[in-house]
Chain A
Amino acid sequence: MAIAQATPRGYLERPRPSGLADVIDVILDKGLVIDAYIRVSLIGIEILTIDARIVIASVDTYLRFAEAVGRLDLREDESQGLPELMESVTSGGSKSKTQGALEGVKETLFGGDEEEEEEEEKEKAPSRSRSRSRSRSSSSGSSSSGSSSKRSSSSRSRSRKGSS
């Protein structure tokens, strides 16, 4: 399953140039931080101090591991392979609802009426993210929960303009 097997042998002999996927984390989370005291946040960006993204050992994680292990046995018993698992993910109506990013990708890439489906997707996204950014704000102690919903909705229209 290693990527190295799917590509020419020389693939690791030089570092690959950094695609967005590789650098998006460091761009958003790292780099010199200029104290808010001297920084005028005219852009209205809330720079949260993102602490180390350690994989959180929590109940959720434990459940996930347990299920994954359980599924291993399932595969052995019933020869249910990857294709069946993927089928159940892609075809199930209720299951596809919260796939979030993946659905968005699918829609953008293969949707017939791109505009409409983007619209749909963005309709779904902000309500989730609004609550998410609200809870983020409160946990970090910042006081702009009022503005966060404004931010999400304005980014919605903005990104429609900006993404072509």
Chain B
Amino acid sequence: MGLITGLLTLPLAPVRGTVWLAERIQEQAEAEMYDEDAIRQSLLELEAARETGVMDEREIAAAEDELIERLMMIRGVGEGEIDGRE
């Protein structure tokens, strides 16, 4: 049916849009645009999982963190050391 059903019935159940994207990702090495789409899609799925209570909040948050950091790496927004200014 939609996001939620998909998530419940298969261990890794991307919705059709994600399958489409996943297949393109494997063919084109690291087209940034598509990596980002997959990340966004996964974030949406995690949100759906949170609403259905299918997964532990800690697991969801950990997965989200990793995706956010990937997005940040792609964008070049990242964290670094803070130098003290003396």
Whether B2 contacts A20 by the Cβ 8 Å rule is no
The total of chain B residues at the interface (CB under 8 A) is 65
Are B47 and A98 in touch, CB under 8 angstroms? no
Q: Is the CB of A110 within 8 A of B11?
A: yes
Contact with B along A139-150 (1 / 0, CB 8 A): 010000001101
Chain B residue numbers with a CB within 8 Å of A162 are 65
Contact partner of B55 (CB less than 8 A), chosen from A24, A82, A109, A128, is A109
CB-CB under 8 A from B72, the residues of chain A are: 28
Chain A interface main SS type: helix
Segment 24-52 of B: residues with Cβ below 8 Å from A: 24-33, 35, 38-47, 50
Least CB distance, A95 to chain B, in whole angstroms: 6
Residue of A nearest to B73 (CB): A129
Residues in A neighbouring B14, C-beta threshold 8 A: 86, 89, 102
With contact pairs A102-B22, A109-B55, A163-B62 given, residues A137 and B70 touching in the complex (Cβ less than 8 Å): no
Q: Chain A residues near B35: list those with CB within 8 A.
A: 100-101
Contact residues of B: prevailing secondary structure? helix
Give the A-B contact count at a CB cut-off of 8 A: 188
**Contact across chains for A102 and B38 when beta carbons are under 8 A apart:** yes
Mind listing 21 A-B residue pairs with CB under 8 Å? A6-B5, A21-B46, A21-B47, A28-B77, A44-B80, A48-B77, A90-B11, A100-B25, A100-B39, A101-B41, A102-B38, A102-B41, A105-B45, A105-B46, A109-B55, A129-B70, A132-B74, A151-B78, A151-B79, A162-B65, A163-B62
Nearest 3 CB-CB pairings of A with B: A44-B80, A21-B43, A129-B73
Q: Which A positions have Cβ atoms within 8 angstroms of B? A: 1-3, 5-6, 19-21, 24-25, 28-29, 40, 42-48, 50, 53, 55-56, 60, 63-64, 67-68, 82, 85-86, 89-90, 95, 97-102, 104-106, 108-110, 118, 121, 125-126, 128-129, 131-133, 136-137, 140, 147-148, 150-152, 154-155, 158-159, 162-164
